[in-house]
Amino acid sequence: VNQLFDPEFVGTPTFAENFVFSPTCQSAILQVCGDIENAKYENIDEYILKDTSGRPIVDCFVEELGAFHVAYQEDPNQFFTTCPSEPNTNVTWKSDPSWQINPADSDFNNTMNKFVNSCNGGPGNFGYKYDNVLGWDGTTVRYAGISVDSKQLSPRVVLSEDETRVIYDTFIDFSKEIDKKMEDACGTKTLMTDLDQKFIYMHNQNVYKTNAFKGCIIGAIFSFIVLFASTRKIHVSAFATIAILCVIASVVGTLTMLGFTLGTTEAILLSILAGFSVDYVIHLAHAYNHATGDVSERIKAAYGNMGISVFSGMLTSIIASIPLFFCTITFFEIFGTFLCLTIAFSWIFANLGFMLLIATFKVSMDKKWI
């Protein structure tokens, strides 16, 4: 699966060969649907969206199928142009012992095909409505499911990994709980997923976070190595690296406060953050290292030689990033914000962080390597 080139492709489905859509399985699915609608599973009830009457919103095709089958046996021509009554409000069919459809019956395929094409036989039919939970391929029911509307997960809302994982773990526990009923009835265990790929994004966020953290740490280590190779002074390299780490923390914190979430673009930018942050501090460190006199004189010389150049570089970079704020392409908008924050914090911590540490500790430059 490579959604970078094909965002709609989520993989080729594989089906459990042991799954059997038997009458026992249909009864078990119906029972779970009823238990969810009646809020008997307290652990998931707070995460399910409710209707105006406070009833959990559950899509359970077995309810429609049962109502359809009972009415179809009474009048085979009823459902070609009209839909059956809503099974949630008209449940008299449940008392009929023949509401289940037996796959072994000779009329099974014909009944299922008529069911999925009922309700005007167009885009609004049962086959379209239950496309995600009814795996009917024309001859076999490959899978059967139950769908609930989440109160927290929405296509328009992006939650953090930690928030999504609480919901994910709760529904995983729920799927394990109903496995006790479903495995014996349907031949397979339950598989839990979401239809908006929020759980996939949750996993990706964990990958992004890990890789971004590694990128920042590796970048800081390489920055220290480059700084030490340039100055040959451990304390100068260490103070400069501390300033870089402060830049990283400040940029990440500010992006979080601005409401950015960790996605592909943000993870890549954070991975190169240390490289962006080293620019100004290494100029001042190099100037300080090559100046003469005591610590105070070296600081003045560093500011005198490089201060205006560093300031000019900061100012032009920030001005250049401002037009990116108004871009309609998301990448450029994010990059503009990232660039502006990185440049600003790099200048602040190079001038007011790194040089402040140099002035405070006053480590002599006469000692070799230190």
Q: Which of 219, 226, 357 is nearest to 288 (CA)?
A: 357
Interval 125-136: pLDDT, tens: 888 888 889 999
Evaluated on CA atoms 181, 183, 189, 192, the torsion sign reads negative
pLDDT score, position 312:
96
Name the band, by pLDDT with cuts 50, 70 and 90, for residue 230.
confident
CB-CB contact of 66 with 93 (8 Å): yes
154: Cα separation from own chain's centroid:
11
Helices (H) and strands (E) in the chain, counts: 14, 4
pLDDT score, position 4:
63
Average pLDDT, integer, range 11-17: 87
pLDDT score, position 370:
61
Report the distance separating Cα 358 and Cα 201, nearest Å. 44
Interval 162-178: pLDDT, tens: 899 999 999 999 999 99
